[in-house]
Chains A and B, each alone.
Chain A
Amino acid sequence: MKEQAQDKQIGAPMNRVDGRLKVTGAAKYSAEYEIPGITYAVLVGSTITKGRLTSIDTRAAERAPGVLAVITHFNSPKVPGFDTAGKDPSQPATVGGPLKIFKDDLIRFNDQPIALVVADSWERARFAARLVKAQYAKEKHQTNLEANAAQAFLPTSAKKNPKSPMADYQRGQVDAYKTGAIKLESEYVIPTEVHHPMELQSITAHWEAPDRLTLYDKTQGTLATRRDFAREWNLPEENVKVIATFVGGAFGNALHSWPHESAAIIAAKVVNRPVKLMLTREQMFTMVGYRPYTWQKLGMSATPDGKITAITHESIGQTSTYEEFTESTLAQTRMMYQSPNVTTRYRLAALDIGSPIWMRGPGEATGAFALESAMDEMAHLLNLDPLEFRLRNYTDQDPEKNKPWSTKFLKECYQLGAERVGWNKRQLKPGSLRDGDWLIGYGMGVGTFGAHRGAATVGAQLLPNGTVLLQCATTDIGPGTGTVMTQIAAETLGLSPQKITFDLGKSSYPKAGTQGGSSTVNSVGPAVQEACLALKDKLRGIAASSNAAFASAKKEDVTLTDGYLTVGGNAATRVAYADLLRQPEAATAVTVEAKPGPEGQKYSMYSFSVHFAEVRVHQLTGEVRVSKLVSCADAGTIVNEKTAGNQMKGGAVGGIGMALMEHATIDDRFGRYVTKDFADYHVPVHADSPDVQVAFVNQPDPHVNALGTKGIGEIAIIGVAPAIANAIFNATGKRIRELPITPDKLI
């Protein structure tokens, strides 16, 4: 059958290239590799929160059937990289470094791994793990942020660099809202939330030689993982292979290297066999990060005609005692609205808990809950429609950086969303709409996230069978990276997507950054584009030796179809691949790096979103149902409306969880979580989510990259929780400033 190459691949709602593999179970995840001689490891966690491990009795565990080793800090081999003094340069956003597992006897948080049992089956390892008995010298611990707010401190990065985004920010007068005509001052709290991707954090570590390590790992960055563990073991990076072909969701928790990964590598050294380690769902709460509990205070003043005159936004986020984790909680407040006076102050409280890590829409989603709730509160004070209030304070250029936006189509998003949700039904007075015992309300929340782009390299090769193979070390944690890269390549080459293979998820492939911060399409997309253009040029050069038409052709005009290379599809110019491929292999392969240029100096680059919610609140039981949710995004060019829409919907459902149910709660007396499974830690089920409506402005941004993309992953969730909280206020007149908004808060 003849495959017709479509002209327009970019934007087409193409099905996922790996969809069938995923739904049939053929896709292999990090815990599914069966290597001969494989062993299984289970971690034992501390049952105290702070203190010292005085002794650990592993005898019963060692005698248990099938057990090969029990590793603790008493017998662990030395990890050479653990002794390197000073801060870990591999963690640019953190000061300190990941926990160095089995290095000392200090207990820094509850469920900190204190032992690892390796056995010939997972069941036997788990059984033996329960037989490990530890003795501790307990010390008084601190796990409550409010109780430790007085000790909150400016992050080290801000102390060292006053221009750091974590430093105190000032434009106009300090705390000017206090003298404003109409003002408010509100405190907001978001609890700890945990990523909980469907796939548990897993790693299979295999020392293929004493100095050669292969890791099948759940990671968002194969190269970051390679770098971290090469450094831990003082190995050249090329001696460490990281494989993450499929990642079953991550939402940020695989952006960091965690102690369980180090533990598996240590264990593989000890037993001299491959070791597979998969965390339990309970361990997912304690040792692989979370969205930190954060307290915020927001002060705002405005003129009676609805112009914001000042905003002050302060926050205290929790971090661990051994690692300073920071995130951009206050970023949106500095640039979203036209206010002459803005003050932001970001602080940390170090508690006896594991380190946090960025969770989808990281700090911005936390900050937007305060900012966008306060916007709603001020609109209510002013007796103004919240959408109108936002329009009156719209920014046509970035007020923080004093630069033009690269593109900003947020007004268009407002319009699209307001129409779809039926914003005209919203009443200014809360509690005006009802259906029996159900109170109905409408709310909105805005989100933004930097349109980040980094360098990326892609290899492209024409194969003898007429297909093109592309390779890149990027990962695909679920957004559909392989699919959209195939589309970009298909369009650039003029080849059918079926003839393109995009291989990803291996550290041995050409370099790309970690999949995080909504940056993959922005970064890898142009590299695919440029690699495909370079490949065409290379082929054109080869063809030129036998066909004059190619000698004068531009690389953009070269098309690959149906076994032939042509100039602009002109049949008369056809050169068969078979002829081209008589050249040595390297001649038909290219590797190209694409990097951002100086545009970032000139423009302020952001994606924008707005979320509109219609909620129903039962006046007797306090139950909330989100009956409509409309998410509109200005994310530049949409490469695939299906996978992009899928990301938006996923983010919106995550926002429902954030608004209404997710809270990881610690009993501070013990420092242990009391919500440690899916019976206690609720995420939305289908019945909690309406059919989320998504609309894209779909206008290219000419400055981020040649594709015009800006990024989707984060803005999908940023602003959703306040949209729902604001809708609840509109329905009930109750302003809930502490998430999640559970029924008990509404009765």
Chain B
Amino acid sequence: MNQFQYVRPTKRQAAIDAVAKDTTAKFIAGGTNLVDLMKRGIMTPQKLVDINRLPLTKIERENNGLRIGALALNSTVADDKQVREKQPLLSLALNAGASAQLRNMATVGGNMLQRTRCSYFYDLAMPCNKREPGTGCGALEGVNRMHAIFGFSDKCIAVHPSDMSVALVALDATVQVSGPRGNRSIPFADFHRLPGDTPEKDTNLEPGELITAVVVPDGPFTKHVHYQKVRERASYAFALLSVAAALDIDGNNTIKAARLAMGGVAHKPWRLTAAEQALVGKPATEDTFRQAAIVAMQGAKAFKYNAYKLKLGPNTIVQALKTAAAA
């Protein structure tokens, strides 16, 4: 196999230094994606900096929100009492992802940093600008039934595969990072990038920056929430398309606040702010949901094999909102 160094620092700064000083180094936590990519030769880091010994697993209250450590396991977060009470949408989205075995290994930070599952990215013999800039996008005129309908470029039409991130972008989370130049917070919606001319960059993390936590602010979305994931089998499959929906409905069945995001449609989890605005102040009825779904799909554009998403998108939004309202 490819030779690589392996270090396991116990101090945050040592971990950051190890990656910041070596462009061929990568952090590794659960390894549920990186190890696969290394086995296939898609990613070939010369050094792995194992961060599992850093104290980043806690889930705790912080300034009217929940601070979830980057190393908290997906299964731990999904089952956490505070998460289920304060942010049930996050719990639902996590449990819709992967399999029980993977959720027991995968971390919150790693989940956000999953690479796309585009088949062209995964095949070294195929063109892919994300894997090998300049080689072209295989999916653009290829088998693109899993691909993007929003925010793509002619360089890349891949989608981000995370379920958890769809919920986090809807919930206005922020990502806390530490790097060579100190700490900073990144709004979740700005964490992932659109492909543009540099599809090889999935996120706005700077070299050496380490995700330390995700903070989810408290909100009114503790009851009327739903994560609707449509896939080709009942479990353990990436989404054809998914919708995270959260509603705050008053006693007159009027929507006071709404959050809506889609997965499987863009290079990043796709927040639907215009559709949210179309929901607020309206009665929580199927008709309202249909109107919002039309707004949500504005600007969507399909390729040869993914035109079904133009219909599946609004249908799934309606289904997610109906289920959330009835919850």
A residues near B (Cβ < 8 Å) are 47, 123-124, 126-127, 130, 437, 618, 620-623, 625, 660-661, 665, 667, 669-670, 672, 674-677, 679-680, 682, 684-688, 740, 742-744, 747
A-side contacts of B237, CB under 8 Å: 679, 682
Question: Within the complex, what minimum Cβ distance (angstroms) separates B4 from chain A?
Answer: 12
A-side contacts of B198, CB under 8 Å: none
Question: Within the complex, what minimum Cβ distance (angstroms) separates B38 from chain A?
Answer: 11
Q: Report B85-108 CB contacts with A as 1/0, cut-off 8 Å.
A: 000000000000000000000000
List 21 interface pairs A-B (beta carbons < 8 Å), by A numbering: A618-B319, A621-B228, A621-B230, A621-B316, A623-B231, A660-B232, A661-B232, A661-B233, A665-B143, A667-B143, A670-B126, A674-B120, A684-B233, A685-B234, A686-B235, A687-B233, A743-B230, A744-B308, A744-B312, A747-B308, A747-B315
User: Contact between B319 and A437 (Cβ–Cβ < 8 Å)?
Assistant: yes
User: Contact between B232 and A669 (Cβ–Cβ < 8 Å)?
Assistant: no
Q: B195: CB under 8 A from chain A?
A: no
Which of B41, B142, B235, B319 is the one whose CB lies under 8 Å from A621?
A: B319
Q: B58: CB under 8 A from chain A?
A: no
User: Contact between A680 and B312 (Cβ–Cβ < 8 Å)?
Assistant: no
Q: Other CB < 8 Å A-B pairs besides A130-B41, A622-B230, 16 of them? A: A123-B1, A127-B1, A621-B316, A623-B231, A660-B233, A670-B126, A670-B138, A675-B119, A680-B117, A686-B235, A743-B230, A743-B240, A743-B312, A744-B145, A747-B312, A747-B315
Which of A675, A680, A685, A744 is the one whose CB lies under 8 Å from B233?
A: A685
Which of B1, B2, B240 is the one whose CB lies under 8 Å from A744?
A: B240
- Expressed in whole angstroms, the Cα–Cα distance for A124 and B2 within the complex equals 9
User: Contact between B234 and A625 (Cβ–Cβ < 8 Å)?
Assistant: yes
Question: Within the complex, what minimum Cβ distance (angstroms) separates B136 from chain A?
Answer: 11
User: Contact between B318 and A680 (Cβ–Cβ < 8 Å)?
Assistant: no
A-side contacts of B119, CB under 8 Å: 674-676, 680
User: Contact between B142 and A685 (Cβ–Cβ < 8 Å)?
Assistant: no
- Expressed in whole angstroms, the Cα–Cα distance for A688 and B237 within the complex equals 12
Which of A620, A686, A688 is the one whose CB lies under 8 Å from B319?
A: A620
- Expressed in whole angstroms, the Cα–Cα distance for A620 and B311 within the complex equals 9
A-side contacts of B230, CB under 8 Å: 621-623, 743
Most buried by A among B1, B119, B231: B119
Q: Report B315-327 CB contacts with A as 1/0, cut-off 8 Å.
A: 1101100100000
- Expressed in whole angstroms, the Cα–Cα distance for A302 and B194 within the complex equals 58
- Expressed in whole angstroms, the Cα–Cα distance for A599 and B191 within the complex equals 74
- Expressed in whole angstroms, the Cα–Cα distance for A669 and B142 within the complex equals 8
A-side contacts of B318, CB under 8 Å: 620
B-side contacts of A669, CB under 8 Å: 141-142
B residues near A (Cβ < 8 Å) are 1-2, 41, 117, 119-120, 122-123, 125-126, 138, 141-143, 145, 228, 230-238, 240, 308, 311-312, 315-316, 318-319, 322
- Expressed in whole angstroms, the Cα–Cα distance for A665 and B232 within the complex equals 15
Closest 6 CB pairs of A and B: A744-B308, A687-B234, A47-B125, A674-B119, A620-B315, A687-B235
Question: Within the complex, what minimum Cβ distance (angstroms) separates A114 from chain B?
Answer: 12
User: Contact between A682 and B312 (Cβ–Cβ < 8 Å)?
Assistant: no
Most buried by B among A47, A620, A623, A672: A620
Question: Within the complex, what minimum Cβ distance (angstroms) separates A71 from chain B?
Answer: 21
- Expressed in whole angstroms, the Cα–Cα distance for A742 and B241 within the complex equals 13
Most buried by B among A127, A621, A676: A621
- Expressed in whole angstroms, the Cα–Cα distance for A623 and B117 within the complex equals 21
Nearest-CB residue, chain B, relative to A677: B122
A-side contacts of B117, CB under 8 Å: 679-680
B-side contacts of A688, CB under 8 Å: 233-235
A-side contacts of B145, CB under 8 Å: 744
Question: Within the complex, what minimum Cβ distance (angstroms) separates A145 from chain B?
Answer: 16
- Expressed in whole angstroms, the Cα–Cα distance for A126 and B41 within the complex equals 10
- Expressed in whole angstroms, the Cα–Cα distance for A614 and B293 within the complex equals 31
Nearest-CB residue, chain A, relative to B308: A744
Question: Within the complex, what minimum Cβ distance (angstroms) separates B143 from chain A?
Answer: 5
User: Contact between B41 and A674 (Cβ–Cβ < 8 Å)?
Assistant: no
A-side contacts of B312, CB under 8 Å: 621-622, 743-744, 747
User: Contact between A667 and B240 (Cβ–Cβ < 8 Å)?
Assistant: no
Nearest-CB residue, chain B, relative to A684: B233
A-side contacts of B315, CB under 8 Å: 620-622, 747
Question: Within the complex, what minimum Cβ distance (angstroms) separates A196 from chain B?
Answer: 14
- Expressed in whole angstroms, the Cα–Cα distance for A669 and B318 within the complex equals 37
B-side contacts of A743, CB under 8 Å: 230, 232, 240, 308, 312
- Expressed in whole angstroms, the Cα–Cα distance for A680 and B240 within the complex equals 11
- Expressed in whole angstroms, the Cα–Cα distance for A740 and B233 within the complex equals 11
Question: Within the complex, what minimum Cβ distance (angstroms) separates B296 from chain A?
Answer: 14
Nearest-CB residue, chain A, relative to B323: A437
User: Contact between A747 and B1 (Cβ–Cβ < 8 Å)?
Assistant: no
Which of A130, A620, A621, A672 is the one whose CB lies under 8 Å from B123?
A: A672
- Expressed in whole angstroms, the Cα–Cα distance for A590 and B120 within the complex equals 60
Question: Within the complex, what minimum Cβ distance (angstroms) separates B262 from chain A?
Answer: 13
B-side contacts of A665, CB under 8 Å: 143
- Expressed in whole angstroms, the Cα–Cα distance for A621 and B123 within the complex equals 30
Nearest-CB residue, chain A, relative to B230: A621
Nearest-CB residue, chain A, relative to B235: A687
- Expressed in whole angstroms, the Cα–Cα distance for A679 and B143 within the complex equals 15
- Expressed in whole angstroms, the Cα–Cα distance for A685 and B126 within the complex equals 29
User: Contact between A667 and B238 (Cβ–Cβ < 8 Å)?
Assistant: no
Question: Within the complex, what minimum Cβ distance (angstroms) separates B232 from chain A?
Answer: 5
User: Contact between B123 and A676 (Cβ–Cβ < 8 Å)?
Assistant: yes
Question: Within the complex, what minimum Cβ distance (angstroms) separates B317 from chain A?
Answer: 9
B-side contacts of A684, CB under 8 Å: 233
- Expressed in whole angstroms, the Cα–Cα distance for A672 and B1 within the complex equals 25
- Expressed in whole angstroms, the Cα–Cα distance for A324 and B308 within the complex equals 37
A-side contacts of B228, CB under 8 Å: 621
Which of B41, B235, B238, B316 is the one whose CB lies under 8 Å from A679?
A: B238
- Expressed in whole angstroms, the Cα–Cα distance for A743 and B234 within the complex equals 11
- Expressed in whole angstroms, the Cα–Cα distance for A740 and B319 within the complex equals 24
- Expressed in whole angstroms, the Cα–Cα distance for A214 and B322 within the complex equals 64
